[in-house]
Chain A
Amino acid sequence: MAEVSQAPLRMTLSCPAPSGDGGHVVMGHGAGGLLSQQLLERSVFRRFANPDLDRRHDGAVLAFAGPVAFSTDGYVVSPIEFPGGTIGELAVHGTINDLAMCGAMAEVLSLGLILEEGLPLSTLDRVLAAAADACAASGVRVVTGDTKVVERGKGDGIYVTTSGIGTVHPRAAIGATRLRAGDVLLVNAPIASHGIAIMSVREGIAFETSVTSDTRPLHHVVRALLDACGEGVHCLRDATRGGLGAVLAELAQQGGVGMRVRQAALPMLEEVEGACELLGLDPLYVANEGVFVAAVDASCADAALAAMRASPGGEATVAIGTVTDAADGLVRLESAIGGTRIVHLPPGEQLPRIC
């Protein structure tokens, strides 16, 4: 018979629930029990604290003064941390921007997290800190949310969904059907930076660059634009997936108008242009996160340009072309050397050329 130790028994009086795998997301974090609660306390509630969230109810009860816009988006970017940002601020900015394109100023967001078992808690913390900072800087509140955990191999670290509600600007009248021949097309910032920043750190392609993502909230610059031009702003669209080219082609199609765009006027950082050349990518179809196109009535184009340039996120605004009465719904790009080509919707993901 084994000898019984005479040493005094050391009892731990804390909760016997699993400890949490010393710094990784475990299945228990999504099970609704103590581990879930701990995770939410340390990662979510403290960071995003506000009276609506602090009620910790199943949902938030809200009141708004006038018409609101409502939008939702899912975020699956890989890798989840990239030069210039993380999936966290991307998810916040993305929904703020979708609302801004409706002429609405985001006020509240929901935050849905799908975490993969094994995700380092330190990574989750960085992502959520970035999201919280983005909310604070943008003046929006997370008022409700959800967290689920899926088995290792069933996710890609972390997926985020955000939905948001924003109050519509009193003078906003935005829609593709309001596009008119003569409208001036404005773009607020250099294109293709986000896609190149992501590509630069993607496995198998990694290359050295100082290009960073252009993820940024656009509601301030949109508000400035609407304050200045009101109904003169005919259409707004953010040029995220598919890039500026896809958005222009889509708008022209939906509005039943043509467009003429000058290639030489397209804003782009030189390093981004170089990376696109090397990788065989057409910058028109490379993704952005903080770029939008505004079609404004010609009569207020100068005022629009000035208002946007005076607002954060719009400092680099330029006019890239005009809406035309070509009823074929096509976007014609005038090349820098005088030829033209049609800008089509890309058929799928842009594949790199091989020689």
Chain B
Amino acid sequence: MKFLSEFRDPALVERLVDELHKVARGEWTLMEVCGGQTHSLVKNGLMELLPPGVRMVHGPGCPVCVTPVPLIDLAVRLVLEHGATVFSFGDMLRVPGTAHSLAQAKAAGGDVRVAYSPLEAVQFAQANPTRQVVFFAVGFETTAPANALALVHAHRLGLRNFSLLASQVLVPPAIAAVLSDPASRIQGFLAAGHVCTIMGLDEYAPIVDRFRVPIVVTGFEPVDLLHGILMTVQQLERGEARLENQYARVVRPEGNPDARRVLREVFRVADREWRGIGVVPQSGLEVREEYADFDAKVRFGLEDAPEATDSGCIAGLVLTGQARPTECPHFGTTCTPLTPVGAPMVSSEGACAAYHHVALSPVQLVRGGRHG
């Protein structure tokens, strides 16, 4: 397929792998930030192809994984107590809340629907004026503009029955948080290509300067990922720390100005809790007061539910690269894709689910080794 097969070309992959094996002399630990990259690494078996000294750690860039439990509980309450119709991206449905997941709320008679676009929820609200319709706006900078646009659209239509339960998070503060942790071993980052498609490159240079780490904005196909890894390792071997753009065919330095504009119009930056990690300053997006009518928390007078009790899930350590999924006592025993204890076991982009799919492959386990 045009624009796809080129980036999965076996000959090109082989050349990149050869080059990587030639270049990599030291022991390097890199983090791919985005869950989409984790998924592609696993799906294509790319980690097997890396030199033994190059280790990938899977970052916090899975929006489903970092959505805090109290917010899931709010979504469940909207369904079961307020009788609202809640639209959500599919992955979110099975993530366990305190008492219920959205899938369980649906089974209990609640109106929970899977959407591919927030505009579907707006259309539903328009067609069903007697229903209160909430879109569970989960995601990073990539999904935020579409969610913002849906809200602007609903505002223009004068809808009184549409609102957003915003759970939007931002990547650069998360990278900074990972690096600020004294236990962090991450020496280089593959930044999330699609996030940068929206936001551009501005926010990453200060992180490179402050922490002296190479950051390479990277795409998602095998050729992209291997190229991004190669560029990062080349920098590390030379003792450099620069911001580079591997994904230049899609990412412009200024990002997408229109998307950024609508994002700023609807959302403001706020402190935000990340599941398993804690509150990261200035790392989330909240609906601005001008649009408070469309903020589900305001419309339904929701108070944040109390913090969930500790499930024993070590998602925080996994998502900051301090532990491998296989080091969790729950991994593969009490926590499986069918019975997830924590969110990273749910989404196909979650590090634990990704590992569960390869955990029985001895090659990968040996290559993976133990952390630290």
Contact = CB atoms under 8 A, between A and B. Distances in A.
Interface of A: 204-205, 270, 273-274, 277, 279, 282, 328, 330, 332, 334-342, 344, 347-348, 351-355
B348 interface: yes
B126 to A, nearest CB: 14
B163 interface: no
Interface of B: 1, 4, 8-10, 13-14, 17, 34-36, 39, 42-49, 63-64, 89-94, 113-116, 120, 124, 138-140, 142-143, 194, 222, 336-338, 347-349, 356-358, 360-361, 363
A347 B360 contact: no
A338 B1 contact: no
B116 A355 contact: no
Contact of A336 (B10, B94, B140): B10
A338 B194 CA distance: 26
Contact of A337 (B10, B34, B113, B336): B10
B357 A341 contact: yes
Given A204-B116, A352-B89, A341 B358 contact: yes
A334 B337 CA distance: 23
11 contacts: A334-B45, A337-B14, A340-B361, A341-B361, A342-B358, A351-B93, A351-B114, A353-B91, A353-B348, A354-B347, A355-B35
Given A348-B94, A354-B138, A339 B360 contact: no
B93 A355 contact: no
A interface secondary structure, majority: loop
Given A330-B360, A337-B14, A355-B194, 9 more contacts: A204-B124, A273-B1, A332-B361, A336-B10, A337-B9, A338-B17, A339-B49, A353-B91, A353-B349
A339 B44 contact: yes
Contacts of A347: 336-338
A338 B361 contact: no
Given A270-B1, A339-B46, A348-B338, A354 B89 contact: yes
Contacts of A328: 360
A204 B10 CA distance: 37
A353 B39 CA distance: 10
Contacts of A274: 1, 4
Nearest to B12: A337
A338 B8 CA distance: 11
Ranked nearest first, the 5 interchain pairs of A and B with the lowest CB-CB distance are A339-B45, A347-B337, A351-B90, A354-B89, A337-B13
A338 B14 contact: yes
A208 to B, nearest CB: 14
Contact of A340 (B13, B48, B348): B48
Nearest to A274: B1
Contacts of B92: 354
B113 to A, nearest CB: 7
Nearest to B14: A338
A260 B289 CA distance: 57
A312 B259 CA distance: 51
Contacts of B91: 351-354
A277 B337 CA distance: 22
Nearest to B16: A337
Which residue of A277, A344, A351, A355 has the most chain B CB atoms within 10 A of its CB atom?
A355
Contacts of B43: 282, 335, 341
